[in-house]
Amino acid sequence: MTRDECSRQKARGIKTSKTKAGTPVKAFIQNIHHFRDEALIDPNPPDGHVVIFDEAQRAWNHQMTADFMKRKKGRPGFTQSEPEFLISYMDRHQDWAVIICLVGGGQEINRGEAGISAWLSAAMDRFPHWKMFISSQLNDSEYAAGTTLEAAKNRPQTQTDNAFHLAVSMRSFRAENVSAFVKALLDCETEAARTTFEQLQARFPFVLTRNLDTAKAWVRSKARGSERYGLLASSKAMRLKPHSVDVRVSLIRCTTF
């Protein structure tokens, strides 16, 4: 967005820097909780007609939202989940509004997080006049849309389109098959995992060991020059505690050696 603003200013013959051009851009990006708090204070609709919620599945359910409103905002008896309240905020527009929910796959839903099904339920139960456009891939189990998705698809105001599915992660666009292999492996899809692995094994070194010392030695042998290296542990890997890797300690994310 900053580069685009620079290009626009340049086209107008205005000389500007990225720092200066980035200042108004920052106004477009804010913490979702700040956006929600504005809705509590100001009864008017938000300034923008389009809002994008990143990691939308992490919005709070009714219990978590009500607890927060009671403790932090002095509003006991709050009756809405965070998705429902956020939609109601955008629904204050009398002409039109657009909500874009970006949903990340392959992630656990933590305590108090509503999941994408809460957005679907809120739209169906409270805002039937809103149109929903849903990715045709949202029915995958990793998105945890549940039976709510089927109900949403049956309403007249809902359309599904494969174009809304971002099939390749921008973080690993050169290795999209790696993600496909891992997903097939975790989903116990044997044939899909085997087929994908055959496409990867010549380019990516997949190795397996249950010996931590062996794993460390292998990683050291692959480092070149002054490259840094380390180990990543699953949040469920409790059996690593005897090896001085306690995943319950929140500060441990990457262990270097």
Average model confidence (pLDDT) across the chain: 86
Q: What is the pLDDT of residue 51?
A: 93
For the chain, the three-class secondary structure string (H helix, E strand, C coil) is CHHHHHHHHHHCCCCCCHHHHHHHHHCCCCCHHHHHHHHHHCCCCCCCCEEEECCHHHCECHHHHHHHHHHHCCCCCCCCCHHHHHHHHHCCCCCCCEEEECCCCCCCCCCCECCHHHHHHHHHHHCCCCCEEEECCCCCHHHCCHHHHHHHHCCCCEEEEHHHCCCCCHHHCCCHHHHHHHHHHHCCCHHHHHHHHHHHCCCCCCCCCCCHHHHHHHHHHHCCCCCCCEECCCCCCHHHHHHCCCCCCCCCCCEEC
pTM, two decimal places: 0.68
Confidence of residue 104 (pLDDT cuts 50, 70, 90): confident
Q: Domain spans of the chain?
A: 31-167, 168-206, 207-257
pLDDT at 108: 62
| Chain segment 222-242, per-residue pLDDT in tens | 898 888 888 888 888 888 888
Residue 111 pLDDT > 70, yes or no? yes
